[in-house]
Amino acid sequence: MSALTQTQIEMLKERMLTRRGELVTEIKDKLAESREHSSLTTLEQRLEGGDSALADLIASTDMAMVRRDVEEMREIDAAIGRIESRAYGDCAECGEPIAFARLEAEPTATRCVRDQERWEREHGKGPGHSL
Ligand SMILES: [Zn+2]
């Protein structure tokens, strides 16, 4: 069970919805920008006989920027879903309440500090490094 008060949850939800709005704008801007870039690159290629590897690099960089935003948006949607199902604020690993201070810093957090640190340690080392 979450240890958060309704007021705290509402505050975090409000913040996530604001951030979500920013992300939607950012994604739209970046997509529009990358379309401009790619048409410009295509034009330059036609003029110069071009380097398609560079064009691919630019395209993939733009997509990577958008992908991060899309991922963050998905995390926000998942967190709001957890609020609705009253699972928000509980650690996905141990079920203990996540500290409000941690959620304030990262409203989409799904693990308590201890489990997050362990997860990062395990995944940072890569597969096949267990006992
Ligand atoms: Zn935990």
Per the rule left: phi > 0, alpha: psi between -120 and 50, beta: everything else, 108 is alpha
Please give the tally of structural domains in the chain: 1
Tell me whether residue 101 is in a domain: yes
The reported pTM is: 0.73
Are the CB atoms for 103 and 88 separated by under 8 Å?
no
Report if residue 130 sits inside a domain.
no
Q: How far apart are CA 16 and CA 103, in angstroms?
A: 11
Give the distance (Å) from ligand 1 centre to CA of residue 22. Answer: 30
CA of 97 to the centre of ligand 1 (A): 8
Name the residue range of residue 111's domain: 6-125
pLDDT tens readout for residues 13-60 = 999 999 999 999 998 888 788 777 666 566 556 556 555 555 555 555
Q: What residues have their beta carbon closer than 5 A to ion ligand 1?
A: 91, 93-94, 112, 115
Cα of 109 to ligand 1 centre, how many Å? 11
Residue 16 sits in a domain whose CATH number is 1.20.120.910
pLDDT digits (tens, 9 = 90+) for 59-103: 555 677 788 888 899 999 999 999 999 999 999 999 999 999 999
- Using the mean position of ligand 1's atoms as its centre, give its distance from the Cα of residue 62 in Å: 35
